[in-house]
Amino acid sequence: MKLNEVIEKRHSVREFKEKKVKWADILEAIDTASKVPFAGNINNLKFIIVENQELKNNITKHCQQTWIADAQIIIVVCSDETKLEKMYNERGKIYSRQQAGAAIQNFLLKITDLGLSSCWVGAYSDELIKQVLKIPEFINIEAILPVGYGKGTIKKTRKAALENIINWEFWGITKKSSRTKDPTTW
């Protein structure tokens, strides 16, 4: 698929078929996630692959979203900002979040490209998930990504119109100045 097609096709899925997901697809998606820009070339991300139903049920309980347990696989994206903080001080935390977000988006796009579905889950009890998966205290959980083959029909959600998300030159300036060059003439 072409990139624009994948971007348009990607959506959050909360219903999954019982069809088994191929390991090669999961590994390929994680590999794609690891190809984002990293501050100082420090890849601070780790991915936990969860297939065990009991663990999936526990994760689901600590997310308070029952549909998660129906996914064939759950990917837990984690980060260790220790090295980034040593190199960049407080900004290291910001870089860690940015890197995680970029990696998660790459993962979701690759999952879509492979014909699979997922949903970026950000609501969960960090401490309880850490206990369940034996994640060290200093590691951050960045996202929980249930993965499987989507089931049911997908409702197209409305996204903000481009003109509603752009500011020109300064915050709050929503109209392009006549002095701003048209991109087609650059």
With 70 as the cut, is the pLDDT of residue 167 above it? yes
Q: What is the pLDDT of residues 71-105, one digit of tens each?
A: 999 999 999 999 999 999 999 999 999 999 999 99
Summarize the confidence of residues 13-25 as an average pLDDT: 94
pLDDT of residue 161: 82
Rg value, the chain, Cα: 19
CATH superfamily placement of domain 3-157 = NADH Oxidase (3.40.109.10)
pLDDT of residue 153: 67
d(CA 108, CA 111) in angstroms, rounded, equals: 5
Outline where 10-90 has alpha helix (H): 23-33, 53-63, 82-88
With 80 as the cut, is the pLDDT of residue 154 above it? no
Which helix H or strand E contains 142, and what residues bound it?
strand 140-148
Sequence ranges of the domains in the chain: 3-157
Per-chain mean pLDDT for the chain: 92
d(CA 52, CA 75) in angstroms, rounded, equals: 12
Say if CB 125 and CB 135 are below 8 A apart.
no
With 50 as the cut, is the pLDDT of residue 60 above it? yes
Nearest alpha-carbon partner for 101 in 143, 48, 160, 39 = 143
With 50 as the cut, is the pLDDT of residue 186 above it? no
Q: What is the pLDDT of residues 117-149, one digit of tens each?
A: 999 999 999 999 999 999 999 999 999 999 999
